[in-house]
Chains A and B, each alone.
Chain A
Amino acid sequence: MAKPSRQERFLSLLDEHKKILYKVSASYCRNLADRQDLVQEITAQLWRSFDRYDSSYSFSTWMYRIALNVAISFYRSESRRTRNTVPAGESILEIADDRGAVEPDDHLVLHDLIGQLDELDRALVILFLDGNRYDTIAEILGISETNVGTKLNRIKQKLRRDAARTV
């Protein structure tokens, strides 16, 4: 059997981890057009960096680093919405079922809550909610495990306080 090409291998790994693209873009961009731009930007960066990917390490850790780094830069950039190469109306990530399974209610509540955090805390929470261990989160963010624990506790307390205030 022929060995898959570099592009085929990349697309297969991307397909396997496509949920990361969705979750990161949804957590950093509120409007659909920005989300599509961000998905495109992350995908382009992943592809450009793919040569340097060492397959002995987890693809998801590598992908999280790139996706979050691009998302934070995109979020801070003032030149958003000026770089479409994908034709309008098409999207790299397609919602195959439009019966409202994710959007709008669940999506809005979940990402509105995450959206209240600053861009760095948001990265931490995404990684935590996605079930990553403290050591993996620390490795992706580049901070200590203790720091991860301390920050998560603070965020938990903040969410509890906010919830108590709204009751």
Chain B
Amino acid sequence: MDIDDLKQRWDDQDRKLDIIIRLNTRLLQEPVLNKAATAMTRLSWLVLPEMLLNLIACGWLGSFIAEHLHAARFLVPAVALDLGALALLIAGIHQWIAIRSVDYSAPIVEIQKRLGGLKVQSVRTTKLVLLTAPLVWTPLLIVALKGLLNLDAYRMFSHAWLAANLAVGLAVIPLAVWIARRTAGRMERSPFVQGLLRNILRDIAGYNLTAALGFVSSLARFEQE
């Protein structure tokens, strides 16, 4: 079949559609127009609790830092955590503004490039958070014990124990990537691994980032050719 046949069929369909399709205005007026929340507005709501959580973390860590300015052993882990939370908060605000300002009536390549860029940024952030999570555990333990229970983790656990935890955290990163790469592909077809878990595996394995970057480059080719 060539494009002329395709056009002929398309025109035939067009004529038939004139007669047979009808807009259900009752349904439109009730749920659709009244609750016109689109995928993007839902996504922007999803970003909000994350932003709030990071804001609370920044505030709490800020006051912890102020209280322990002269105690380097508490100050250093708290500053590291605060910088992480601040970076996530800034990334979240940036993402929220970008999502809210997407104008779908702009040309397709322009909008898809923006959405593609947003996806790349979001996947990169998630991957970074997932991969650094095992490293965060030790400073979090030190700061949380001191800040919430006024307990000194350095006295409760030996320095060697804390250092070993950090080392294990470092070792877990390449191991997690290796396991995710080995399992993510197989889990695609598993009826038990769906949604969030599958997405986490794909994020760690780097598949989601590859897909997002692939789409961005296909847009660039489409624009240039």
Contact = CB atoms under 8 A, between A and B. Distances in A.
A102 B75 CA distance: 70
Interface residues of A, number: 75
A85 B13 contact: no
Nearest to A120: B222
Say what secondary structure dominates the interface of chain B.
Answer: helix
A47 B36 contact: yes
Contact of A163 (B2, B19, B21): B2
Contacts of A88: none
B115 interface: yes
Nearest to A67: B104
Given A73-B115, A109-B9, A94 B24 contact: yes
B36 A44 contact: yes
Nearest to A48: B36
Interface in B102-125: 103-112, 115
B20 A101 contact: yes
Interface string B29-51: 10111011111111000000000
A69 B104 contact: yes
A110 B24 CA distance: 25
A87 B32 CA distance: 11
A160 B5 CA distance: 11
Nearest to B112: A72
A41 interface: yes
Given A85-B32, A92-B24, A159 B105 contact: no
Contacts of A70: 38-39, 104
Say what secondary structure dominates the interface of chain A.
Answer: helix
Contact of A76 (B19, B106, B111, B215): B215
B136 interface: no
A40 to B, nearest CB: 6
B16 interface: yes
Contacts of A139: 107
B10 interface: yes
A52 interface: yes
A49 B24 CA distance: 20
Given A69-B111, A102-B16, A143-B223, A14 B23 contact: yes
A107 interface: yes
B38 A45 contact: yes
Interface string A120-142: 11010100111000000001111
Contacts of A91: 24, 27
10 contacts: A43-B32, A48-B36, A85-B35, A107-B13, A113-B1, A114-B6, A140-B107, A140-B108, A159-B6, A163-B2
Interface of B: 1-3, 6-7, 9-10, 12-14, 16-25, 27-29, 31-33, 35-42, 103-112, 115, 199, 215, 218-219, 222-223, 225
